[in-house]
Amino acid sequence: MAAPSILDEYVTSAPSPQNAVDVFAGEWSSQLPAPLQHVQAGPLPLFDDARVSWAIECFGGVAGSRVLEIGPLEGGHTYHSTPPVPTSSLSRRRAAPT
């Protein structure tokens, strides 16, 4: 049996959204919103989470606000704050080790 090769990790198909998501195969949690709803990702509708829409409505919207989302996962909840564009949107994530 041949030794594994780094070339085994490359795809031979054209670049696509599916190829990008497949890098994280088995790890992706969110279903993607239109126009990417056809991409096979995760099972959870986090890009259409009614709780986030409800909270934004309770706050009176986020237009002109600064938004800090802690724990952005794949960005589904951050996506909710972008239609009425806030002045800035920050997501906290761990810095790469130096």
Q: How many domains does the chain have?
A: 1
* Percent of all residues in the chain with a pLDDT value above 70, rounded to a whole number: 82
Host domain of residue 82:
27-92
* Encoded tokens for 79: 């996506």
Residue 81: which of 61, 58, 98 has the closest Cα? 61
| 22 within domain boundaries | no
Tell me whether residue 45 is in a domain: yes
Asked if residue 55 lies in contact with residue 69, where contact means CB atoms within 8 angstroms, the answer is no
Q: What is the pTM (predicted TM-score) of this model?
A: 0.62
Taking every pair of Cα atoms in the chain, the longest distance, rounded to a whole number of angstroms, is 63
In 3D, which of 46, 45, 37 has the Cα closest to residue 17?
A: 37
Of 70-74, 77-81, 91-95, the least confident: 91-95
Report the C-alpha gap between 89 and 37 in whole angstroms. 24
pLDDT, tens digit, 9 for 90 and up, residues 37-61:
999 999 998 888 888 889 889 989 8
